[in-house]
Amino acid sequence: MFHNMGYKVLIVLLLLFAAMSCTEDKDINGPSVPGDVSISGTIPVLYIDTENGAPVVSKTEYLDAAYWLDPMGADDVEPLGTELAPLPMQIRGRGHSSWKGAKKPYKIKLDKKTEMMGMPENKHWALLKPSENTVAGLSMGELMDMAWTPGFRPVEVVLNGDYIGLYFLTETIRIDKNRVDIYEQQDGETNPDLIKGGWLVEVDNYKDECQITIPENSRWNLTLRYHSPEDLSDLQLQWLTDEFNAINAAIYSTDKTSTEWERYIDVESMARFFILQEVMDNPDGFHGSFYLHKDLGDDAKWVAGPIWDLVCYNREKTDYTFKMKVHYGFTPHWIGEIIQYGSFCTSVGEVWGDVYPGRLSEIFDRIDDTMLPLGEAWKNDAQRWGDDPSQTAQHRADRIKTALRRNMEWFDRHLPASKK
């Protein structure tokens, strides 16, 4: 009797364990796929197969994989590889909060530099979850003549035979002749003459590797992630720390007629960056994913950008975005001080006069041209991930255009002016 009871208990435990294992696998691979959800056939498709069909579960460790790109009849897209002869690549996860969702973003690294969908050759790309904010922000970056703005192309993705929906294949931020085109200093550099330039850094709001943290003022710190170089010598680390301590001191000067901060920062680039964040109503603009880069040269300064990770709060603006409350705590680095300088306000006015209403009015057609052809792909994506089907491509395009018009009109009436 006891033997039979023990056997039954063992069977129950094994069944429970199996059920838990299945649940964990579903969490890794996403929700089950409705049998009738597949590619829309309206835009190019990127097929990716990992080695042995392994799921992509890490944001740090790449998996070996192979890919092929089917243009699906698009005249301006070149095919890459074939189903029978795919090309080598690697893939891993990426992102912070975006990685927590059921649908994951990915970082891909090709075996060799390759042009993709009309974008210049590189090994490194991202597959980002689609958003009208990305379409608007990156399109606006090009219209505003930022030093460089990542390009992107819509693509549907099939991973290990699983249709995972609509993505934006996007250029990642790197020092490269086709991207951030500046001198790139070497890891572990010890030559003082070469340490003053070739930097790509990000003001970050997450704890990560390759970071330094210094006081910005008496209330909060400034955390910088150095993307290039990645491995710093003691001399590089000391230079970077001293450089941003000096920048903080200059920006926080009580004399707002001082030009000391302009020795370090390219004022016009900061003005363009500021305008874009305000028109987008992006509270993260001076909080996180705030990139800066500096070339090597006697006259080189820190340039604001490239832009990345843009959102739009789509609300009535009553103040500058960096002053308005959001649903989470955030620290607007530098901008609260910089906006008090007359040179900055003058530059904002000059840039605004150059881009509004003329060039910025082009954004509305760009949004329609990019988003409206994605109707079927976005519909299939929503079905695949159980999203609200009313959030169509047309609805998203109309929503972001309404927000941008409202924000441009508000900003045009509230150009910053120095108090001194």
Q: Could you tell me the two tokens for 130?
A: 């689609």
Neighbours of 169 (CB within 10 A): 21
pLDDT at 1 over 60: no
pLDDT at 328 over 90: no
pLDDT tens digits along 134-168: 999 999 999 999 999 999 999 999 999 999 999 99
Q: Are 248 and 265 in contact (CB under 8 A)?
A: no
Average pLDDT over residues 272-289: 96
- Percent of the chain predicted with pLDDT > 70: 91
Q: Beta strand 87-93 with 199-203: parallel, antiparallel or unpaired?
A: unpaired
Between the two ends of the chain, the Cα-to-Cα distance in Å is 92
pLDDT tens digits along 189-200: 999 999 999 999
pLDDT at 289 over 60: yes
Cα–Cα distance, 239 to 242 (Å, whole number): 5
- At 34, the pLDDT band (50, 70, 90 cuts) reads low
What kind and span of H or E run contains 407? Answer: helix 393-413
pLDDT averaged over every residue in the chain = 92
pLDDT at 31 over 70: no
Average pLDDT over residues 345-363: 98
Cα–Cα distance, 102 to 30 (Å, whole number): 5
pLDDT of residue 23: 32
pLDDT at 24 over 60: no
pLDDT of residue 206: 83
pLDDT of residue 154: 98
pLDDT at 32 over 70: no
pLDDT at 28 over 80: no
pLDDT tens digits along 206-264: 888 899 999 999 999 999 999 999 999 999 999 999 999 999 999 999 999 999 999 99
- Percent of the chain predicted with pLDDT > 90: 87
Average pLDDT over residues 86-91: 98
Q: Beta strand 152-159 with 45-50: parallel, antiparallel or unpaired?
A: parallel
Q: Could you tell me the two tokens for 290?
A: 């705030």
Neighbours of 214 (CB within 10 A): 15
Dihedral Cα 325, 326, 332, 336, nearest 10 deg? -20
Cα–Cα distance, 295 to 279 (Å, whole number): 28
- At 11, the pLDDT band (50, 70, 90 cuts) reads very low
Which segment of 22-26, 275-279, 313-317, 403-407 scores lowest on mean pLDDT?
A: 22-26
- At 420, the pLDDT band (50, 70, 90 cuts) reads low
Average pLDDT over residues 274-295: 97
Pick the closest to residue 185 from 177, 176, 195, 173 (CA basis). 195
Pick the closest to residue 187 from 230, 238, 234 (CA basis). 230
- At 105, the pLDDT band (50, 70, 90 cuts) reads very high
Average pLDDT over residues 27-47: 73
One DSSP character per residue, 247-315 reads: HHHHHT-S-TT--GGGGTB-HHHHHHHHHHHHHHT-TTTTTSSEEEEE-SSTT--EEE----S-----S
pLDDT at 19 over 60: no
Cα–Cα distance, 190 to 236 (Å, whole number): 7
Average pLDDT over residues 11-40: 49
What kind and span of H or E run contains 347? Answer: helix 342-355
Average pLDDT over residues 12-26: 38
pLDDT at 372 over 50: yes
